[in-house]
Structure 1
């Protein structure tokens, strides 16, 4: 099959080159505005794709082959990567740029198809939308490619991988992190460099012969206007039909995360986004005039003091474990450390039981051993009274259905325990996110842990001379 396959690839590439030359000739004559693709070429090209799919079906990871069988296929000479995917007409559509795809060998073709399917399984098509307004397209695309390429072999030589990014940008990014983590780290680096002036003629050609990482996922913009929940439901149907045999562990993990994610940003990344909107307190200064009344020299101006009050509420009555909260508060402290904000922890059940300030993880105290009912209102009364800027409420979600004190002048982020199902409040006055479930360690001594034969010298640690 290999020699016949390679011959077919070479023949198709020559035909694709001829199509490109005819297009440019017509364009110079002012006769052509689009790339004409003969039906014969389409049939031959998709016949080649069928052979690639057959190879995927024969592979141990045949999930990809069955997934591809459900997808529509299109040819796009203007695609900035060998393959691209979007969602149209209740189907995922896999697009191919023959000028780039036909330059790959069989294994690389398989990998670039797997690459697109992994973007779907990772929920990138809808997760990326959350970030577009705040992050550079290059940072987003590179971050997503780092995530999916970590699971692939036989990648094209220009592929964006964790190793390539760390080497190229002198970074020390960690492996197997959420793509939001990579977006933030890469964006921070890009911000250090001045943006290049946009090239007005960069998109003039309708045929791409080189890969452009910044535009690799522009095709997603052409997807049907579908809400995230509906898109996720379609994705789960595709997955169900593709699971014909055993699925590798990393795919099982992705599929499980997709089913549980509801297409949402992780709570800690959402908190980072909130931190950018939290207003800082102001301090008086005699070196600046009052902005509202500059003619009044007797009035002091204001400077941002870059300090805001953050209230972290912990529901001690519910099912949030010590491990879950300790990990969560560690992430909170890591997120807000660059903002130099004041953090206060409130422990509460049906009433506030303890209030204390923290600056580092060492300041976090062991939780009070009190397990009453749960009421959310006392915390909001405290927050209103102390004029806080942000409330982060960790709870299992079970409390009142209605707050008897509404929040005034601050944002609220609810973080539900990994075992919490939903928030009982009809109107939460803020975003509700799920805490990633942490394994709860059981330190209880079991009878099976106790040796019945009594103490023995064999229980001693070996002595080395």
Structure 2
């Protein structure tokens, strides 16, 4: 039986279609007249439609506020609202003028039922609380928008019911990209795995794309005249679903985080689910410092960047110039991972950390050596994968950092990553030469004892190890703790 809400949605759908038809009619008429080339042609949204649409959103918000977890309803009240037909998702957000703004595309949003409308609003708010605005920036240079967007969507959609049929979920990504991603993992974990899968697919499809290139160029040229006109989006596109983030006000990360904390504080009026409580706690505890694994990603981009010329690869910047030779890495980077075995770093901490190191450097021409040391070097061995990691030697002595740096200097390494509780000598007897150093202090550690670190000092977060055989069907989201999810498990 059709409810009044359903009738209102249907009526708005009809009116939205009329707006689009009128837009194309007006644009066609305008082209037949003399009109400045650079003058954009915009959709006119009648005030009556705007008022009726936001009255509908008020009803959705009221439903959110009547839920047991009314956080989302109170968060939405604080946000500005706008209508845009050019976004490729039912909703989108950005930060404008000291406020978060939520945008609605009626052509996509009005195809949803009430519960799905609620979920797509919750989806945007979870992106905000998870600080995805900030965290996604760290991956812009080396990762595609599709990989970044799908990774973020997996994280937030894990906690939502009544998702639209096209929503990006963990099961969907695993099925479509032949992956075995685990649930309740950080955004950073998902984006790396998804990007690798996308790269492999692109290699497989490269020949087909070459054959179709001529036709694609013609289509692109034909569409070029529409750049100045407002796009009309009628379908969800995960690759473009967060494009509006780029249109946010120019604001520093610390200030944005402070605004986000304020919005979250004002929205806490009642019961908060475990996962939301942990997200908010992580939000408040984040000091804006780049996590050790993200810092390592940056370092890898600077390690031995010299390249040699080759005639077997085209120049990447100008592939059509056959007279320009391509480039290959001319050096295998030596990465030394030092482990303080005096008892200060737990096996769980190190095993999780070395997995992340291997995942980060796998796309580089590298050689990884693990060096175990307390007051002296006890063992050095090479690793290519997690299965090569050996059980640590059972030693419970003191700690000295100098022997590791002596070894690094003698073996001409490119990068030293030192896992320790930070307690050793105050001054190195051997100064590092020709390589970068990253200190990673254990969760139980305090600070580095050295007066001069000769490198960046980062800290591990507490790690709780779970059974990796867990599946989505084994877990009930409502009762799952966020202690192992997002930033808290790094």
TM-score interval (norm. to shorter): 0.7 to 0.9
Q: 1:402: Cα distance to partner? A: 7.7
| Counterpart among 403, 426, 440 of residue 415 in structure 1 | 440
Distance 2:94 2:371 in 1: 45
Q: Which residue of 2 aligns with 1:365?
A: 392
- Corresponding residue for residue 109 of structure 1: 117
Q: 1:327 aligns with which of 327, 352, 358?
A: 352
What is the match of residue 214 of structure 1?
A: 239
Which of 139, 147, 151 does residue 155 from structure 2 map onto?
Answer: 147
Pairwise mapping of residues 293-372 of structure 1 onto structure 2 (< 5 A)?
307-315=332-340, 319-333=344-358, 336=361, 339=365, 341-348=367-374, 352=376, 354=378, 356-359=380-383, 361-371=388-398
Tell whether the 8 Å contact from 1:118 to 1:148 is kept in structure 2 after alignment.
yes
Task: Give the deviation of 1:404 after TM superposition.
Answer: 7.6
The reply to whether residue 235 of structure 1 matches residue 260 of structure 2 is: yes
Q: Assess if the C-alpha contact under 8 Å between 2:373 and 2:404 holds in 1.
A: no
Look up the SS of the partner of 2:89 in the other structure.
coil
Write the distance in 1 (CA, Å) between the matches of 2:356 and 2:142: 21
Structure with higher Rg: it is 1
Q: Match of 1:311, SS?
A: strand
SS at match of 2:3: helix
Contact 1:137 1:214 in 2 (8 A): yes
Displacement of 1:270 in angstroms is 4.5
Report the alpha carbon displacement of residue 177 of structure 1 after superposing the two structures with TM: 1.9
Indicate the larger mover: 156-165 or 79-88.
Answer: 156-165
The secondary structure found in structure 1 opposite 2:44 is coil
- Judge conservation of contact 2:442–2:460 (CA < 8 Å) in 1: yes
* Contact kept? 2:405, 2:430, Cα under 8 Å: yes
| Structure with more relative contact order (C-alpha pairs < 8 Å, separation 6 or more) | 2
RMSD across aligned positions (CA): 3.3
Q: Compute the TM-score of the two structures, normalised by the length of structure 1.
A: 0.79
Deviates more, 1:376-385 or 1:81-90: 376-385
Q: Which runs of 5+ in 2 are unaligned?
A: 309-327, 466-490
Are the structure 2 counterparts of residues 439 and 45 from structure 1 closer, same or farther at C-alpha, using a change threshold of 3 Å?
closer
Q: CA deviation digits over 1:76-96, x for unaligned, max 9? A: 111111100111112111111
Partners of 1:80 and 1:116 lie apart in 2 by 14
Q: Contact 2:440/2:458 (CA < 8 Å) preserved in 1?
A: yes
Match in the other structure for 1:388: 413
Establish whether residue 78 from structure 1 lines up as the match of residue 86 from structure 2: yes
Residue 50 in 1 paired to residue 58 in 2?
A: yes
For residues 312-336 of structure 1, give each alpha carbon's deviation from its aligned partner in whole angstroms, at most 9, with x where no partner exists: 2334568433432343335445655
Which ranges of structure 1 fall in alignment gaps of 5 or more residues?
A: 284-302, 441-465
Shift of 1:429: 4.8
